Amino acid sequence: MATGRSVLRPLLLVAVALALIFPFIFPLVSETMQERREPGEGSPPELMAKAVSVFNMSLDVIARSFRPGGAELANATVYAEEASNISMELRRIVETFPRDLLEYNDLVLAALEYSKLAEAASPVYSSAALAPRVYSGLERSLESLAKCMVGEALDEWDKIRGDYEEVLEALRGSMDTLKEVNASRLLSDEHRNLTSAGTEAYGKALGALSEAGALLLLAEKYRSLLELLCNGSLSQLDPSDLSQALRELSGIDPSMAGSLAYETQKAQDTIEDAIRGALQRGGAQEGDTGMNPGSGWSVGEAAESSASGQTPGGGAGRGEPPSDD
């Protein structure tokens, strides 16, 4: 019994000593831990909530800025940096977690997917200051092309070409990142639905740039041919060049052009109809284009028809301008 008491006595003294000095030690330990925390660091749930928030806000930016006549986003760089920082912090948490335990921790696995949502949002914010100008410039360029005003169309295209490429690259990066998201690891159906809605919204914005830009790139490539065509200098046109241009134009899909679908369709109609008319007048055979040209269709009639919603032969056109709804 005496031996037991002699053992307990030192332990009790140590416990009392620790209790007395703990209030002085804890602030020092806490301060040291706080100093090691990196800027913007937070718990995984907090950071994932922020990732959802910045991604959700990016959809509103897409709706307001990535269209003709859209609103420019103020402080776009600040928002882009915030989204990027959230993404990097979530990835840091994942990278510092023990690799052999990673597959057993659903929260950490989810953190990686939420980091991708924030990462996808960042380029949308960074390019939102340029997007309204780019989409409006594309709209004006396509409207000129629909009137067979090739020079005016390409002059407008030249003004926005650099900004266009920057916005296009940003959206492509965002879409590539979204494709990597494993939605099954997200923590709620609401977040999965939001990711699906974001993919659709981003895709439409990218489609408008891609299809409208592809049409204007073709107009640039065939500028001389189109200028001769629209000026009525049909005798100087090579039927093989016309047929090649028509084949390449058929690769444009206006239905994928989102907010620029109508303008893309009308410009494509004008050029295609004018080429068909020129091929017919030049005696081209049906096999030259893979299509049956309309009868007596002139360049001027093609432009007027496209503007009024008519096609060769007086039939109905391919639709009216989309409503604001």
Confidence at 234, pLDDT banded by 50, 70, 90 = confident
Reply yes or no on whether the pLDDT at 292 is more than 60: no
Mean pLDDT calculated for residue range 119-142: 97
> What DSSP string runs through 214-232?
HHHHHHHHTHHHHHHHHTT
Mean pLDDT calculated for residue range 185-195: 96
* 311: β partners: 315
List, for residues 2-26, the tens digit of each pLDDT value.
544 454 454 434 343 434 433 333 3
pLDDT at 39 (0 to 100): 40
> What DSSP string runs through 74-143?
TTHHHHHHHHHHHHHHHHHHHHHS-HHHHTT-HHHHHHHHHHHHHHHHHHHHHHTTTHHHHHHHHHHHHH
Q: Which is higher by pLDDT, 278 or 302?
A: 278
Mean pLDDT calculated for residue range 168-188: 96
Given a contact cutoff of 8 angstroms between Cβ atoms, the answer to whether 108 and 44 are in contact is: yes
For the whole model, what pTM was predicted? 0.74
Given a contact cutoff of 8 angstroms between Cβ atoms, the answer to whether 273 and 305 are in contact is: yes
pLDDT at 47 (0 to 100): 94
Mean pLDDT calculated for residue range 120-124: 98
List, for residues 138-169, the tens digit of each pLDDT value.
999 999 999 999 999 999 999 999 999 999 99
Q: Measuring CA to CA, which residue among 120, 246, 240, 130 is closest to residue 183?
A: 120
pLDDT at 6 (0 to 100): 52
pLDDT at 296 (0 to 100): 37
pLDDT at 41 (0 to 100): 53
Q: Measuring CA to CA, which residue among 144, 137, 142 is closest to residue 159?
A: 137
Give whole-number Cα distances, 228 to 27, 135, 152, in Å. 82, 28, 15
| Residue 47 in tokens | 């950071």
| Residue 145 in tokens | 């092309």
List, for residues 15-63, the tens digit of each pLDDT value.
434 344 333 333 333 333 233 334 445 788 899 999 999 999 999 999 9
Rounded to whole angstroms, the Cα distance separating 301 from 297 reads 7
Q: In degrees rounded to 5, what are phi and psi of residue 315?
A: -80, 180
- Provide the CA 221 distance to its chain's centre, in angstroms: 25
Of the candidate ranges 137-146, 178-187, 263-272, 284-293, the one whose mean pLDDT is the lowest: 284-293
List, for residues 87-101, the tens digit of each pLDDT value.
999 999 888 876 655
Other residues' Cβ atoms within 10 Å of the Cβ of residue 167:
29
pLDDT at 44 (0 to 100): 85
Q: Residue 316: helix, strand or coil by DSSP?
A: strand
Reply yes or no on whether the pLDDT at 253 is more than 90: yes
